[in-house]
Amino acid sequence: MQNPPSSRSEPQPILSVFDAVIIMVGIVVGIGIFKTPSLVAGNVESEFAFIATWLVGGLVTLIGALCYAELAAAHPHAGGEYHFLSRAFGRPVAMLFGWARGSVIQTGAIAAVAFVLGDYATQLWPLGPHSTAIYAALAILLLTGLNIVGTVQSKRTQIAITFVEIGAIGAIILLGLFVGGEPAAAPPASDPGSTGGAALGMAMIFVLLTYGGWNEAAYLSGELRDAPRKIAQVLVIGTAVITTLYVLANIALLDILGLEGLRASSAVATDMMRAVAGEPGALLVSVAIVAAAFSTLNATIFTGARVYYAMARDLTLLPRVAEWDARGRTPANGLVLQAVVALLLVVLGSATRDGFQAMVDYTAPVFWAFLLLVGIALFVLRWREPDRELPFRVPLYPLTPILFCLSCAYMLHASLAYTGRGALLGLAVVAAGAPLLLFRRPIAGAPASEPVPVPGRLQPAAASD
């Protein structure tokens, strides 16, 4: 009997640079730009400082993207960061990251975006007292199902949603910069808070949160055509597009609402469009935010399950999660497991006052801790593998990766200093994954994260018809 295709299939290079850039932009340009400008405005002294923080955020993101470009070009793999950490520090560290990503980082991000989607969908069509959580759960189930159907179908949906999203943000930019409208009503005088280094530091925390997600492009390197030469293009082009959209959108918001108006607003895009185009404009932006959340959620689900696939190949547990579905060209079992964990977090978040904030607290310290390790991995791999061909070298080495590591270290400190109890819960969940190390699969003479024999299952290297 012929073995099932999923047991012998591997990730295939089916994504173009355009596809990968669209997925990257769809991940990053999501709900953050509709939530954080008012928080940033509350921590800066002037309009110049407000715009400058968004430009600096783009620069920090570009520095990180250049570091990831070298790692992903030299070590293209569907496991992304899991693969980098495995090669640099060994499988125990990579497996702990895989656990952290699967139980905290990625699934927490999925739940957070789903909560925002639920909040805005409820404004359009409420479903009762638990409407936000219901929408969040339904969105996770729907988009997980779409991704299980196949990478090509998910890719096409992502491209369509992302263009709708970028078009909506473009409309905000054009209306704000070139059409204008009646000036927004002057709000009561507000206290911008402290105006020293601490306030600027808080502003950067919110800005970098909004830029977050660019690193997900590393998980596309195993499915990107000619990844060693093309992944740097994806990261640099994607970062440039995102920075341009963010800076122009914030200039438009500032032009209509002013700095005080931004500080006083809890829904900046809605208030801006209401000032420019009345209630129809406010309704339009609500629909755009739902589209943005769908785009971010779909792209995050798409990349997230890849680490389950990579980690499961290094464990004796859950061997079916290590299978790649040839029909849909997806890690189908990894997608199912990811959805189960994300839905549990939705239930957990629905019991708090603000599900989105609870998920941000839960994920932030763990995310920045492992991103710091990835930055250090670049130095380790250069030292350990001096003869490896590097299709892309990070410019101004070692200054650029040093700046990246310092940025990550600062964000780790800030996320511990300014988040709530959820941060401690996230760290506790990561520590609880330590026993997984007892189930490491021994690999004699094989690189980490490479295919390993699983009893009773035909392997790709041994497959024969």
Domain ranges of the chain: 10-438
Query: How many helices (H) does the chain have, and how many strands (E)?
Result: 15, 0
Query: Residue 314 pLDDT > 70, yes or no?
Result: no
> Is residue 74 a contact partner of residue 400, using CB atoms and an 8 Å limit?
no
Q: Which CATH code of 1.20.1740.10, 3.40.190.10, 2.30.30.40, 1.20.1510.10 fits the domain covering 10-438?
A: 1.20.1740.10
**Environment class of residue 428 by beta-carbon count within 10 Å: exposed (0-12), middle (13-18) or buried (19+)?**
exposed
Residues of the chain with pLDDT > 70: what percent? 74
Q: Per-residue pLDDT tens for 376-395?
A: 999 999 999 888 888 889 98
How many other CB atoms are there within 10 angstroms of residue 232's CB atom?
21
Compare 214 and 461 and report the one with higher pLDDT: 214
Q: Per-residue pLDDT tens for 255-271?
A: 888 888 888 876 777 78
What band does 218 get if pLDDT is binned at 50, 70 and 90? low
What band does 447 get if pLDDT is binned at 50, 70 and 90? very low
Query: Residue 207 pLDDT > 70, yes or no?
Result: yes
> Is residue 152 a contact partner of residue 329, using CB atoms and an 8 Å limit?
yes
- Name beta bridge partners: 454: 457
pTM of the model: 0.74
